[in-house]
């Protein structure tokens, strides 16, 4: 993923001694609206240009600076992961909020009441991941990339989600956007390292193209896509079940006694 343009704008805001309230007043917007824009990283191009104009920063300079940055994923505290793992619905709700899905949509697909959504919001607030605003709206405190611990408490849930996704991809017919693939080849470890770098670059490209789409496209015209994969040395003998040895017939056993 490329650098975060909104972090660059936040730095420009601080450099000018301005607050969210100052920026909102200059744009004829409320302070909560400005906070929401920076929290969700969800704004149309015209509004982004307006922010740049107020700060006196050319949009091209912001995008160039973002293009040079490669932010690293952060890790949640183990206790926070454990809190999410304690309730799968809480974890799924958090993931969908990070995917910028509307709160009402998430509540609808899980069949949650307003009271249940409020309790989820308060649970996320106690974990330091969100704040519940007036009217029960849940706002995440950060949309920065997150890397969950490989051996952490969330791993069982992550395994279930990804296995279900792979099963879905296997059963869906291939089309212009859906593709299941698997490949294995014998090669030198040095070649495998080069391929891993290419895979990492592809994930960054996916994140960057998605960010651009989210800036310039209506939410209802966006569709979530997912890719899951692994790249590692494999021993097929450990993957393929071995045939069980045939048991001798009863007649043979009786003759050998």
Percentage above 70 pLDDT, the chain: 91
- Tell me the pLDDT of the chain averaged across its residues: 86
Q: Are 100 and 42 a contacting pair, CB within 8 Å?
A: yes
Q: What is the pLDDT of residue 215?
A: 66
pLDDT tens by residue, 166-192: 998 888 888 888 888 889 999 999 999
Q: If you average pLDDT over residues 210-236, what whole number do you get?
A: 83
pTM higher than the cut 0.85: no
Interatomic CA distance for residues 36 and 43, integer angstroms: 9
Most confident of 79-83, 145-149, 202-206, 215-219: 79-83
pLDDT at 257 over 60: no
User: What's the pLDDT at 134?
Assistant: 85
Architecture of domain 2-65: Orthogonal Bundle (1.10)
- Each domain of the chain, given as residue ranges in start order, spans 2-65, 78-140, 154-239
Q: How confident is the model at residue 247 (pLDDT cuts 50, 70, 90)?
A: low
Q: Give yes or no for residue 2 having a pLDDT over 50.
A: no
Higher pLDDT, 214 or 149: 149
Distance from C-alpha of 148 to C-alpha of 15, rounded to nearest angstrom = 33
- The answer to whether 52 and 64 are in contact (CB under 8 A) is no
pLDDT over threshold 80, residue 71: no
- Residue 255 confidence (pLDDT) above 60: no
Which of 89, 136, 143, 82 is closest to 112 using CA atoms? 89
Q: What pLDDT digit, counting tens, does each position of 101-128 carry? A: 889 999 999 999 999 999 999 999 999 9
Of 142-146, 227-231, 248-252, give the lowest mean pLDDT range.
Answer: 248-252
């Amino acid at each position: 993923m490329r650098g975060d343009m909104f972090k660059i704008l936040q730095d420009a805001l601080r450099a000018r001694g301005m607050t969210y309230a100052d920026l909102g007043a200059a744009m004829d917007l409320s302070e909560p609206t400005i906070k929401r824009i920076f929290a969700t990283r969800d704004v149309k191009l015209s509004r982004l240009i307006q922010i740049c104009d107020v700060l006196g920063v050319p949009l091209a300079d912001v995008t160039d600076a973002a293009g040079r940055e490669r932010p690293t994923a952060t890790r949640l505290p183990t206790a926070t992961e454990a809190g999410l793992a304690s309730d799968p619905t809480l974890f799924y709700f958090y993931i969908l909020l990070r995917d910028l899905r509307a709160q009402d949509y998430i509540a609808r697909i899980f069949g949650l009441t307003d009271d249940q959504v409020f309790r989820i919001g308060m649970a996320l607030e106690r974990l330091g991941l969100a704040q519940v605003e007036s009217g029960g709206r849940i706002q995440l405190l950060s949309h920065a990339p997150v890397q969950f611990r490989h051996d952490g408490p969330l791993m069982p849930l992550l395994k279930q989600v990804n296995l279900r996704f792979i099963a879905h991809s296997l059963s869906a017919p291939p089309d212009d956007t859906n593709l299941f693939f698997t490949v294995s080849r014998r090669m030198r470890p040095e070649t495998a390292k080069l391929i891993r770098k290419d895979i990492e670059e592809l994930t960054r490209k996916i994140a960057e193209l998605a960010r651009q789409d989210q800036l310039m496209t209506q939410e209802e015209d966006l569709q979530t896509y997912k890719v899951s994969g692994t790249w590692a040395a494999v021993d097929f003998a450990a993957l393929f079940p071995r045939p069980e040895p045939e048991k001798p017939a009863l007649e043979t056993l009786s003759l050998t006694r």
